[in-house]
Amino acid sequence: MDTTAPILEVSGYSLDYATPAGFTRALDGVSLGIAKGEVLGLVGESGSGKTSLAWAVMRYLPAGAKESGRISLAGKELTAASPAEIDAIRGRRIGMVFQDPGTSLNPTLTLGEQLAEVLVRHRGLSRKDAWAEGEAMLARVGIQLPAAMMRRYPHEASGGEKQRVVIATAFACQPECILFDEPTTALDVITARQILDLFAELQDETNVASLYISHDLAVVSSVCNRVAVIHRGRIVEQGPIAEVFAAPRDPYTRMLLAAVPRPDRRVIETVPEPRADALLEVDKVSVIYGRKPFLAALLGRVNTQFTGNREITLAMQPGEILGIVGESGSGKSTLARALTGLHPFEGQIRFGGRPIHGIADMDRAYRRDVQIIFQNPDSSLNPRQRVREILSRPLELYGEPGRGADKAAIAGLLEQVRLPADFADRFPHQLSGGEKQRVAIARAFASNPRLVICDEITSSLDVSVQAAVVALLVDLQQRHGTGYLFITHDLNLVRQIAHRIAVMYRGDLVELIDVGDLAAGARHAYTRSLLAAVPAPLAA
């Protein structure tokens, strides 16, 4: 890899945002450089300032931002550049690919329009030529029928297609440098993989200098040459991937690396002893969304129904952790909702032997024994209730009477999830994401359930926090012998924690497999493509 003068060079750059409370430091003495054809991974957790750096490079800073240091593009000092110059540089010499193609594309303009306009603006093409060029670009980024795609509106394209269009736009003017801001985070595993491959291709082909921002060390390790780890606005460590990941010098880096889920590092040793009487048996459970056809017809609607789950059948032993993986819309959460009586279902559930044919059959005992934890604690904790009330409810309902008021009991619950007792008086918005999720967990365990359904409970958390929460879950499982239905899209994570894995695809349960056998090679095609898509776990 040639190490000529870097295309993008940031040196001693600091940035402060103006807030009502005064200035807060976002970036602190950041220095890095990216050479032609090089991919620098910028790794950090939320709030670390990685995106701020991107905005700084793009010269897209809020009014009242205070900065010092230098940012130069091929020797051109950007911090000093005039607005006109910046306009000429943006999109022409520096491209950017955004996190969520769903929101970064204008819903009322055709994809072609949004691609062509850049060409018109920066390469002075006529609309007609721009359009033709655009089609070529789309073909290049691997879109079948580019002509048709040009004419589509964002809502008519899939997430992957949209992201391809965004990438095409970024590369459209052959910029010297492109910033990628978590370009695959909003996508499904397999789509993400394809985007990453596309990225790699284009990268080799154009030799552009890329800054690849991500929280996912696995991804970074797979696409970048060098990595910079950013923490609280500071670059704590920087160097070639191999070196940094193999022998991290900074404690934070070490912590991060340790936190990354790795299938080879099982966090759960116990194996549930196979017993005759299963804890939970799901028998041909189907969930149908949408209104009844006849009314739909009445209202002149085409049949709006679709199937969320199609005849799912599986069984769980007491104390077992059953992982459920699948991309969004595969029906993971639907199953969870059916099992907790949040959505009517067809078929039969047997819990501890007791048959349950519908929500009506979910009696107090069942409610007590089956608890659910949701993905996003911000919405699963009532913002207008204090932690105390949130935790006291299950106690009221399922503990012996009057325990809801019992301070000690609540303190106990908090202690169980390693939160200080005085959190009882706080409101959710006074807690961090991880703390909120812990409260949610505490609430779930308040009724000593036998089965807890974890619906993507770590996906909104940072790696380090996720690790801690997982550890906590495992610990609780040891203590109470609770069974988990662990729903996630993170294959690595689930391979770490689950005993068996159920793979779902478009509402079907395509495969139910023992974790051990997974490495040996899955049988179902989809499972295999899923496994293939997951970025290779970090080398130890």
Partner 1 sequence: MSPAYVLKRIALIGYTLFVVSLIVFAITQILPADAAVMLLGENATADALAAVRVQLGLDAPVWLQYGRWLIGVLQGDFGVSMRTGQPVGPVLVEALGRSLLLALFAILLMLCLAVPLGIVAAIRRGKATDLGVSVTSYIGVSVPEFVSATLLILVLADWLQWLPATGYVPLTEDFARGLKHLVLPVLTVSIILIAHVSRMVRSELVDVLHTDYIRAARLKGLSARAVLFKHALRNALLPTITIVALDVGYLLGGVIVVEEIFALPGIGRQLIVAIQSRDLPSIQAGALIMASTYAIANFLADMTYAWLDKRIQYG
Partner 2 sequence: MAELLRRMLRSPQGALGLLLVGLMLVLVIVGPWLAPYNPETFTPLQRYKPPSLQFWLGTDQYGRDILSRLLYGARATVLMAIIASALGTLAGALIGTTSAYLGGRSDEAIMRTIDAVMSIPSLLMALLIVTLLGKSSFNALLAIGIAFTPGMARVTRSVALTVRKQDYVSAAIARGEKARYIVWREMLPNVVAPIVVEMTIRVAFAVMLFATLSFLGLGAQPPAPEWGLMVSESRRFMHLSPWMILWPSLAIATVAIGFNLLGDGLRDALNPRT
Chain residues that interact with partner 1, rule: CB under 8 A:
58, 60, 86-92, 96, 98, 100, 103-109, 114, 117-118, 121-122, 153, 155, 166, 169, 299-302, 304
Q: Which does 325 bind (CB under 5 to 8 A by kind): partner 2, partner 1, none?
A: none
Phi, psi of 188 (to 5 degrees): -75, 160
How do 370-373 and 234-240 pair as beta strands? unpaired
383 binds, among partner 1, partner 2, none (CB under 5 to 8 A by kind): partner 2
From partner 1, partner 2, none, interface partner of 122 (C-beta below 5 to 8 A by class) = partner 1
Burial 6-15 (b: 16+ CB within 10 A, else e): bbbbbeebbb
* d(C-alpha 16, C-alpha 64), whole Å: 9
Supply the minimum distance, in Å, between the C-beta of residue 519 and partner 2. 35
3-state secondary structure (DSSP) of residue 394: helix
Residue 191, amino acid? T
Selected from 81, 120, 255, 397, the binder of partner 2 by CB under 8 A is: 397
405 counts as binding partner 2 under rule CB under 8 A: no
In this structure, what token pair is assigned to residue 36?
Answer: 């032609």
Residue type, 162: K
Please, which of residues 291-320 interact with partner 2 by CB under 8 A? 291, 295
CA dihedral (62, 67, 73, 76) in degrees, to 10, reads 110
Site string for partner 2, 338-377 (x = CB under 8 A): --xxx-------------------x-x--xx-xxx-xxx-
The binder of 364, among partner 2, partner 1, none, by C-beta within 5 to 8 A per type, is partner 2
Segment 259-298, which members bind partner 2 (CB under 8 A)? Answer: 291, 295
Residue carrying the six token digits 């949209």: 162
Nearer to partner 1, 197 or 306 (CB): 306
Both tokens of 250, joined, read 């900074």
234 in Cβ contact with 69 (< 8 Å): no
Q: Which does 302 bind (CB under 5 to 8 A by kind): partner 2, partner 1, none?
A: partner 1
Which residues, including other chains, have CB under 8 Å from residue 531's CB and lie 6 or more apart? 491, 518, 522
Question: Which sign, positive or negative, has the C-alpha torsion 345, 326, 259, 199?
Answer: negative
| CB closer to partner 1 out of 117 and 378 | 117
163 binds, among partner 1, partner 2, none (CB under 5 to 8 A by kind): none
Rounded to the nearest whole angstrom, what is the least distance from the CB of residue 445 to partner 2 in the complex?
13
Nearer to partner 1, 208 or 236 (CB): 208
Residue 446 DSSP code: T
Binding of residue 1 to partner 2 (CB under 8 A) = no
Residue 473 CA to residue 410 CA, distance in Å, equals 18
What x-and-dash track marks residues 193-232 binding partner 2 by CB under 8 A? Answer: ----------------------------------------
Interaction between residue 394 and partner 2 (CB under 8 A):
yes
Minimum CB distance to partner 2 smaller for 51 or for 371: 371
Q: How far is the CB of 187 from partner 2 (least distance, A)?
A: 23
Interface with partner 2 (CB under 8 A), residue total 28
CA 164 distance to own-chain centroid: 19
Q: Among 35, 24, 31, which residue's Cα sits nearest to residue 1?
A: 35
388 binding partner 2? (CB under 8 A)? no
For residue 271, report the phi and psi dihedrals to the nearest 5 degrees: -120, 125
**Which has the closest alpha carbon to 530: 212, 336, 470, 513?**
513
Binding status of residue 379 toward partner 2 by CB under 8 A: yes
How far is the C-alpha of 436 from the C-alpha of 430, rounded, in Å?
9
Q: Which residues bind partner 2 (CB under 8 A)?
A: 20, 291, 295, 337, 340-342, 362, 364, 367-368, 370-372, 374-376, 379-385, 393-394, 397, 443
